Every structure is written in C-alpha cells, then in structure tokens.
Amino acid sequence: MSAPNSDYDPVEVTPLHPDEIARVTSEALQAVTAATTLAELKQVRIDHTGDRSPLALANREIGALPPQARKEAGQRIGQARGEVAQALATRTEELEAVESAARLLAETVDVTLPTDREVVGARHPITTIQELVADVFVAMGWEVAEGPEVEAEWLNFDAMNLGPDHPARTMQDTFWVASSGAAADGPGAQDSGKVLRTHTSPVQARSMLTRTPPIYVVCPGRVYRTDEADATHMPVFHQVEGLAIDEGLSMAHLKGTLDHFARAIYGDTMTTRFRPSYFPFTEPSAEVDLLCYVCHNEPSAVASCRTCGGEGWIEWGGCGVVNPRVLVACGVDPERYSGFAFGMGLDRTVTSRYDIADLRDLWDGDVRFTEPFGVGL
C-alpha cells in the first residue's frame, strides 16, 4: 500500500486508474464466463475477489488517497467489485443447474427394470405335507388319485355304506349344494344330490369304479364340514385317503403300510397303535395313533407331556379292511379281492408337528406364518 500523500492524484495511482480498474474488471468477468465447472469458478472467485486479487489490492489503495479523492475511487472500485460479485452469483447458479442436471442424468434409475430383491415367499406347510405324503406312496408304487370337492351325494355317502339315515348326512355336518332356484336353507336345498365332500373317502369309490384291481391309490385333498371356525376346528380342512385292493390283502398289510408311512414322515423311531373302532366303510375298523413324538411314551416323561396330554399316543386317523358292501357297490368282486383303506387329517398332522396352537393360522394367508417353513421342495 502506498503512503498517504496529499498531492496524490487518484488517477495517477495505477491500481485505481479507471482504465486499470476496467481492465481487471473485464478480466474478472471473462474469467467468470470462461469457468465451466463450479470448481473452476471457485478458483476464479479466489483469484478475482480474494484478498490478493487486483480489485482487493486497489481497494486497499483507497486509504492512501487524500480524503477528497477517496469517494470517487471508492465508488469506482465498489461498482467494479459489485459487477464481479453479481457475475459470479449468476454463473454459480448456471453451473449449479448444469451440474445438477448432469448428476440427475448420471444417476437415472429405470424403475421398470426387474429387480432381484423381491420377497420370495414360502410354500404352505399343507402343500408341503400333501406332496410329502404323495411321494412316500409313489415310492411304493402307488398312484395319486383325485376327486372333485363338489361331490355326488351317492359317492360321498351311499357308496361308502353310509346309508340314508346315517347321522353324517344331516344338515349339521354336511354342506349341501342347493339345486338351482332353491334357497340354501329352504325346501329342496338337498335335492341337487350334490355335497361339498365331507371326507376324501369318495375317491375310494371313484378309484374302484374307474380302475380294475389291483388298485393302490392315495389321495390328499380338501374336505368340508359345517363346523364353526375356532382354534381346533375349521369348516375346510385336509385329509389323505389311502386304498389298496388286491388278492389276499389283510389287516397285517394295513399295519405295515401305516408304520412305513409314519416312519417316512416322523423318522425311524416312529410306530403306530391300532384301537378297535367303527366306520361304515371298513370292517374291522380301527383308529390309528402315532407314538407321541415328544415324550415317546417314556414313563418318566409321559405324565407331564403337553403334546399328547399324558396319553403317550396321538390320534392320527381311521382305517380298516374295506367293507365287502363297499366293494360290491363299486363293482369289485369281494370273493376274489379284499383291501384296506385309511384316512388321516393333515391339518392336525401339521399343527402338532410344528406346535401350531391355532388351526386358523393355516388359513390366514399371512406370509409371516409360512416363511419359517421355507421353500423346500
């Protein structure tokens, strides 16, 4: 900075000379225009408005002027600095817009592209157990059979030796399909001759009517009864039916088959127990229980076992030697052939196997329920 000097002519002080100010100003403005990035502009700002810039240095010279000259010089410098500051602000805005547009372009995401982050979901345990059961029997050479869920009353009941007066035929248990025009609960409601099948047993009749012995079929499927939904009952549930018709089949073959079935599902230490029972379609009939897979009926554990309620055994299903009346109704010669049949509830098999307290969980369709069962095939 020059020393104060009363004879000083501001025009003669080089940095404050109008031409010099015009020159450095235009240099600054050119530099601002020439900057093509915000980083370059930052450097221009430092070079042309920073402490060591020509305009800042000129500004400092004002103090060296005689007081009467300071105003004009100050105005000139102030105007020049204002012009440069304004140009910088405008260019900053322009470059910010350019750079933000470039960034948006670079970061463009095509939201329509497929992504690999979809939730995979899981298979429902009822589906898995149906397939597992089918696999066990197919491995023994059995066939998987199917039947409709809207079933002929005759196949659901009569063919299975459930006569017209059997309690299972009453409105209490059976969903009747109303004939067209009849109210579901009014007169004629049962006249259609069709029901929602109350068990998978009609598939036995269908199999015998469409095949010639030997017959070995297994049929997992959905069945319906007029139960209120609660933790242990559902109006829709699942069973697996089995039927074997051949020469010389006996209760012993049935026991061996069910023991194998139980071991395939529950492991090699599993065994079954038969209790005498009654079913119209089998004679003799039995209820089949599984050894409790938690306490194994061990004397030290069975009394306090919550899974089997201290029984040591868990109800699994019904079975027996096919009643000759059923064979006759389905066109099979009872003199030549005999057979055995069984039917198990699959929902209880799943709920007891996985400790599911409420049957309704199987129906909620909540993926959080199915996820722990995984996607195993």
Residue 342 sits in the site that holds ligand DAH (CB under 6 A) = yes
Q: Which stretch binds ligand DAH (CB under 6 A): 47-55, 137-145, 213-221, 335-343?
A: 335-343
Provide, rounded to whole angstroms, the least separation between the CB of residue 281 and ligand DAH. 6
Q: Which stretch binds ligand DAH (CB under 6 A): 4-12, 83-91, 268-276, 338-346?
A: 338-346
Nearer to ligand DAH, 58 or 321 (CB): 321
Residue 151 sits in the site that holds ligand DAH (CB under 6 A) = no
Query: What CA–CA distance (Å, rounded) separates 313 from 302?
Result: 9
Chain residues 268-287 in contact with ligand DAH, contact rule CB under 6 A? 279, 281-282
Binding track, positions 224-243, relative to ligand DAH; x by CB under 6 A: -----------------x--
Nearer to ligand DAH, 194 or 199 (CB): 199
Nearer to ligand DAH, 175 or 342 (CB): 342
Residue 341 sits in the site that holds ligand DAH (CB under 6 A) = yes
Query: What CA–CA distance (Å, rounded) separates 10 from 75?
Result: 13
Residue 15 sits in the site that holds ligand DAH (CB under 6 A) = no
Nearer to ligand DAH, 25 or 282 (CB): 282
Provide, rounded to whole angstroms, the least separation between the CB of residue 341 and ligand DAH. 4
Provide, rounded to whole angstroms, the least separation between the CB of residue 346 and ligand DAH. 12
Provide, rounded to whole angstroms, the least separation between the CB of residue 327 and ligand DAH. 13
Measured between its terminal Cα atoms, the distance across the chain in Å is: 88
Query: Are the beta carbons of 327 and 208 closer than 8 angstroms?
Result: yes
Provide, rounded to whole angstroms, the least separation between the CB of residue 291 and ligand DAH. 20
What is the spatial order of strands in the sheet that 313-322 belongs to? Answer: 143-144, 215-224, 236-246, 338-345, 313-322, 282-291, 272-279
Provide, rounded to whole angstroms, the least separation between the CB of residue 197 and ligand DAH. 10
Provide, rounded to whole angstroms, the least separation between the CB of residue 191 and ligand DAH. 24
Query: What CA–CA distance (Å, rounded) separates 6 from 66?
Result: 5
Residue 221 sits in the site that holds ligand DAH (CB under 6 A) = no
Q: What are the beta bridge partners of residue 179?
A: none
Query: Are the beta carbons of 312 and 302 closer than 8 angstroms?
Result: yes
- The site that binds ligand DAH (CB under 6 A) totals a number of residues, namely 12
Residues that bind ligand DAH (CB under 6 A): 199, 201, 241, 279, 281-282, 318-320, 341-343
